[in-house]
Chains A and B, each alone.
Chain A
Amino acid sequence: MTTSRPPLLDEAADILLAPGGLALDDLESGLGHALGPGIDYADLYFQRSWHEAWVLEDGEVKEASYNIDGGVGVRSLAGERTGFAYSNQITADALAETGRTAAGIVRSGSRLSLARPMAVRAELRYGGVDPLTGLSAEEKIALLKAADRVARAADPAVSQVSASLTGVHEVVLVRASDGTLAADIRPLVRFNVSVIAVRDGRRERGSAGGGGRYTMARLRDENVAERYAKEAVRQALVNLEAVAAPAGQLPVVLGAGWPGILLHEAVGHGLEGDFNRKGSSAFAGRMGQRVAAKGVTVVDDATLADRRGSMSVDDEGTPGQNTPLIEDGILTGYMQDKLNARLMGMTPTGNARRESFAHLPMPRMTNTYMLAGEDDPQDILRSVKRGLYAVSFGGGQVDITSGKFVFSASEAYLIEDGRITAPVKGATLIGNGPEAMGRVSMIGHDMELDTGIGVCGKEGQGVPVGVGQPTLKLDELTVGGTQS
């Protein structure tokens, strides 16, 4: 066994277990406490993370912070029941105490035996590197100052510039009673620029950013400071010209890339296994049925190289996958973790995610996107007599039971007689997921992924995600402006 262990496993064990005097072989007894009478599955999730943030304001990096987090989460399952406890300490004593606590969810029943540990072999979707070490403190500061310089030089209307550089180095190890033994080292970095532009007494914000599962050095090499500074200024200047948005039902064209947040809200959450097992999703019981217009194909793909939402293995140790959710308009798949897959008689899809060791895993999205169609984006715009062209969004939300979703445009334009005319102020779009998906009438050939900025919240837990889509036309959606 030991000789064929993936190298990540030994590295993770050195980082997570060794400081508390533990080795991989000691996890058997730790897991034994969690696999008490009547428990049919138990797992241990070890995690340590190092988080760094550098923030520029007024041309100076005046704030920087560093955070160290870590511990072990222990979970015991019995049927639909979950017992959960966690500790900041990774020691034999802490494993015994949290294990007994978690197993207390049931007190009777037979005691299962532990399956022999099998190291999970998963393809690596990103480099197992510490993303914080590639650049010196001086280089990190220089990167932020470059963004400030570029933004201020871009237009005299720019009055405030803030920029941030953040990175997380995360090491996880999972050992489960079904034999799973897996480890992952997950880098995550992000660069963000936000500007305020003032003209004629009017004040508007613009922001841009991105990143992924790689090093801070790569952010520098990709010239993000200049790129995002210019983009943030461009957006603020567009908003300075924006007129009131229309109100009512209109055809809506969504730009490629980040507007894929529509899929995340309107479709993605409704296809997570837990909501469908409980029957609380508007998509529950609709497997094999038409839930979107022909031509609409949506996947959740954890395997994309270096993307923000990617995972080599999920937080239960299942390898990340590319899971088709909707194929040519037909519902074909849910996103599953082990608990919900087992209760629904399905297979885990590598979508178990948790914010940290102190949170329970749930079925969550990774990178969710719609595949390209065949339409020319220009033809899509030309097909609209009067409508809205939305190219960037602030955020969205869904009520998975009624299917109602909303999302807020941060950059949008009027379409008049097939041409893009005036920019309009941020309008909220509202619709019903299955209905809106049925109204997709044109799909561009320009599929794009977002730049790496998404955070998805569910039951109070935030995890990084990716979205994407080609330019899309929805024949009708409610636009919540002020011009009725």
Chain B
Amino acid sequence: MTQAFDAAAQQSLLESRSRMALELARRLGADACEVGASVDQGMGVSVREGEVETVELSRDQGIAVTVYLGTRKGSASSTDAGEASIRAVVEKAVAIARHTGEDPAAGLADAALMATELPDLDVHHPWALTTEQAIELALACEAAGRGRAGIKSSDGASLSSGEGVRVYANSHGFLGSQRGSRHSFSCMLIAEDEAGMQRDYDYTSARNPRDLLTPERVGESAAERTLRRLGARRPATGRLPVLFDPSLAAGLVGSLMGAIAGGNLYRQASFLCDRLGDSLFPEWFGLQERPMEVGAMASSPFDNDGVQTRDNVFIEDGRLASYMLSAYSARRLGMQTTANAGGARNLRLAAPLVPRDELLARMGRGVVVTELMGQGVNAVTGDYSRGAAGFWVEDGEVQYPVEEFTIAGNLEAMYRGLAGVGSDTDTRGSIHTGSWLIDEMTVAGG
């Protein structure tokens, strides 16, 4: 099972279809129009207990059109990007724009802001992998984990590999397109003791297959993460310092970005409304965006408005230095876009990094959180209460696993109480950070 993907051909096809949609919209009377189109192709395999479970070939495409009639807006999209379908989509968008209300903030971003520097950011690395090879890799990954003493069974290992093209074009004459790839594999294992079963997993993910961890390493790490959960107890209820694992600390950065996103600010749906310039973190902490970083997970020279991306500083010396805005949300707030239509691209900390052992020593007695469950983050108030699992720490040393407890607080107090960032940086996602030590939260357990 293989399928060919000619990225260059797909790119020129999407570009011509986008131009066609713009031209159609103009002929149907639209004052302005923007088009997003994409095609992605990939393969996914999963194995379990040494046998192939699924082999999946995917090919997804879509085109989305937004038209403006004066300050009225209409949108339509389709997963069929054939000519007839594009015509139907544009007609529907125009029909909708005849019904929607006037919105003075509606419209494209200013023409002067359109990206003109469109360098190749080295994010497209196809993996010439046959299904058979993919299965071998997944099997090797699972075998490395299953082989460990104490592992009861496997919940499966999987590999996915894909590439695609996306195009954004608008009636200012801007057209940007970018090819990209993403490859990952993961392994989930189950261990058991008298108290019951536990499972955990690990994964690796990269733009370039060369940057992936080896299957063996992922499988072994999944086994370690699973085994260390056995014998978990429930921690006592009390107020304690909490150390967030790097992947969970990235979630705290994500909550911050949600709270300073223009869409939530103009809707007053954020606990950080009207807080620009305020001190939110300790002075030693900064947060920056690097959208043009070569080869990184979320790199792009233009945002979803076509605006040239740029390095942003969101937190500087602990202060909220900038909101995260698109052209529309900026107009709603009477500000300028920060080229963040579609979100933040490659967030990096500017903070002194501390070895994890030192963070544990600083903590003394508390909990390390390695897993969070549930959606208990209230973006409007910052109230935070989530289910957790992790480890109990005494005298700066991990003692035993803990589970079935919650950690609660308020994001604002948690950010203010950031007591250290680990050097154990997780670089798999678009937010790079190490562990975060929060000075005090309410732990509710037994």
Does A70 sit at the interface, judged by CB under 8 A?
A: yes
Query: Which of B14-22, B84-92, B110-118, B303-311 has 4 or more CB atoms under 8 Å from chain A?
Result: B84-92
Question: Are A401 and B99 in contact (CB-based, < 8 A)?
Answer: no
CB pair B407 A68 closer than 8 Å = no
Contacts of A426 in B (CB 8 A): 376, 378, 383, 385
Are B405 and A478 neighbours in the complex by a CB distance under 8 Å?
Answer: yes
Closest to B234 in A: A478
- Chain A residues within 8 Å of B96, by CB: 64-66, 137
Q: B-facing mask of A52-67, CB < 8 A → 1, else 0? A: 0000010011111111
B342: CB under 8 A from chain A?
no
Residues of chain A within 8 A (CB-CB) of B410 are 482
A245 and B374 CA atoms in complex are apart in Å by: 17
Q: Which A residues from 79 to 105 make CB contacts under 8 A with B?
A: 80-89, 101, 104-105
Bound Cα distance A71, B58 (Å): 12
Interface pair B52/A105, CB less than 8 Å apart: yes
Among B196-204, B205-213, B217-225, the one that faces the other chain is B196-204
CA distance A396 to B267 in the complex (A): 25
Q: Any chain B CB within 8 A of the CB of A69?
A: yes
Residue among A57, A162, A360, A484 facing the most chain B CB atoms (10 A cut-off): A484
Q: Which residue of B lies closest to A56 (CB)?
A: B101
Contact across chains for B85 and A68 when beta carbons are under 8 A apart:
yes
Please, which residue of chain A has its CB at the minimum distance from the CB of B56?
A84
CB distance from A107 to the nearest CB of B (A): 10
Shortest distance between the CB of B362 and any CB in chain A (Å): 22
Interface residues of B in 222-277 (CB under 8 A from A): 234, 237-239, 267-269, 271, 273
Indicate if B406 sits at the interface (CB-CB under 8 A).
Answer: yes
User: Across the interface, do A394 and B52 meet the contact criterion of CB distance under 8 Å?
Assistant: no
Which of A7-15, A320-328, A402-410 has 4 or more CB atoms under 8 Å from chain B? A402-410
Q: How far is the CB of A143 from chain B (nearest CB, A)?
A: 13
Instruction: Provide the bound-state CA to CA distance between A57 and B410, in Å.
Output: 28
**Number of B residues contacting the other chain (C-beta, 8 Å)?**
76
Is B267's CB under 8 angstroms from A160's CB? yes
A98 to B134, alpha carbons, bound, how many Å? 19
Q: Does A159 contact B (CB under 8 A)?
A: yes
A426-484 interface (Cβ within 8 A of B):
426-428, 430-432, 478-484
CA distance A363 to B405 in the complex (A): 29
B395 at the interface (CB under 8 A from A): no
B100/A57 in contact, CB under 8 A? no
The answer to whether B444 touches A478, judged by C-beta atoms less than 8 angstroms apart, is: yes
**A282 is an interface residue with CB less than 8 A from chain B:** yes
B73 with A279: CB separation less than 8 A: no
In the bound complex, residues from chain B placing their C-beta under 8 Å from that of A152 are none
Q: How far is it, in angstroms, between the C-alpha of A403 and the C-alpha of B22 when the chains are bound? A: 52
A288 to B405, CA, bound (A): 30
* Known contacts A101-B57, A394-B375, A426-B383; A80 and B51 CB within 8 A of each other: yes
Q: B53-65 CB contact bits vs A (8 Å, 1 = yes)?
A: 1111111110000
Chain B residues, Cβ within 8 Å of A289 = none
Q: A160-B267, A406-B387 are in contact. Are A401 and B155 (CB under 8 A)?
A: yes
A133 within 8 A of partner (CB): no
Whether B197 lies near A282 (C-beta < 8 A) is yes
Contact B79 A69 (CB under 8 A): yes
**Distance of A72 Cα from B206 Cα, bound (Å):** 30
For the residues of B in contact with A, the DSSP-based class is strand
Cβ–Cβ contact B79 & A71, under 8 A: yes
Structural contact, A406 and B442, CB atoms closer than 8 A: no
Write the nearest CB–CB distance from B153 to chain A, whole angstroms.
Answer: 7
Tell me the nearest residue of chain A to B79, going by C-beta: A69
CB contact list, A230-284 vs B, under 8 A: 245, 247-249, 278-280, 282
Interface size class of A (residues with CB under 8 A): 35 or more
Chain B residue at minimal CB-CB distance from A145: B101
Are the CB atoms of A480 and B75 closer together than 8 Å?
A: no
Which chain A residues lie closer than 8 Å to B74 at the CB level? 64-65
Are A403 and B55 within 8 A (Cβ)? no
Partner of B1, one of A101, A247, A249: A101
Give which listed residue, B52, B106, B375, contacts A408 with CB less than 8 A: B375
B408 touches A481 (CB 8 A): yes
B383: chain A residues at CB < 8 Å are 425-426
A-chain residues with CB within 8 Å of residue B102 when the two chains form the complex: 60
Asked if residues A401 and B199 are in contact (CB atoms below 8 Å), the reply is yes
**A428-B56 Cα distance, complex, nearest whole Å:** 37
A138–B99 touching, CB < 8 Å = yes
Complex CA distance for A402 and B373, rounded to whole angstroms: 13
Pick out which of these stretches binds chain B: A23-31, A170-178, A198-206, A208-216: A198-206
Q: Is the CB of A431 within 8 A of B1?
A: no
Q: Per a CB cutoff under 8 Å, which of A83, A88, A482 touches B55? A: A83
Is residue B368 contacting chain A, with contact meaning CB distance below 8 A? Answer: no
Residues of B within 8 A of A407 (CB): 374
Q: State which residues 32-59 of B face A: CB under 8 Å.
A: 48, 51-59
Q: How far is the CA of A63 from the CA of B105 in the complex (A)?
A: 12
Is A225's CB within 8 Å of the partner chain B?
Answer: no
A203 pairs with B88, CB closer than 8 A: no
With an 8 A cutoff between CB atoms, is A181 at the interface? no
Once A104-B131, A247-B406, A430-B405 are accepted as A-B contacts, the answer to whether A408 and B376 lie under 8 Å apart by CB is yes
- Measured between beta carbons, the chain A residues less than 8 angstroms from B444 are 247-248, 478-481, 484
Partner of A245, one of B79, B197, B385: B385
B376 touching A428 by the CB < 8 A rule?
yes
CB of A33, distance to nearest CB on chain B (Å): 13
Cβ A205 vs Cβ B269 within 8 A: yes
- Contact, CB under 8 Å: B75 / A402: no
Residues from chain A with a CB closer than 8 A to the CB of B405 are 430, 478, 480
The smallest beta-carbon distance between B391 and chain A, in angstroms, is 16
Q: Which B residues touch A247, using CB under 8 A?
A: 237, 406, 408, 442-444
**Which residues on the A side are within 8 Å of B373 (C-beta)?**
397, 399, 404-406, 430
Chain A's closest residue to B106 (CB) is A62
Contact A67 B386 (CB under 8 A): no
- B60 proximity list for chain A (CB < 8 A): 358
- B106 → A minimal CB distance (Å): 7
Find A205's partner among B234, B380, B404 (CB 8 Å cutoff): B380
Residue of B nearest to A89 (CB): B80
| A25-58 contacts to B (CB < 8 Å) | 57
Contacts of B386 in A (CB 8 A): 406, 408, 428, 480
Query: A410 — nearest CB in chain B belongs to which residue?
Result: B378
In the A-B complex, the 9 residue pairs with the smallest Cβ-Cβ separation, listed nearest first, are A480-B406, A406-B387, A60-B101, A406-B374, A247-B444, A408-B376, A65-B75, A401-B199, A428-B376
23 interchain pairs, CB-CB under 8 A: A61-B99, A61-B101, A62-B73, A62-B103, A64-B75, A66-B77, A80-B51, A81-B53, A82-B53, A83-B1, A88-B80, A196-B268, A358-B60, A399-B373, A402-B197, A406-B373, A407-B374, A426-B385, A428-B376, A428-B386, A430-B404, A480-B406, A482-B409
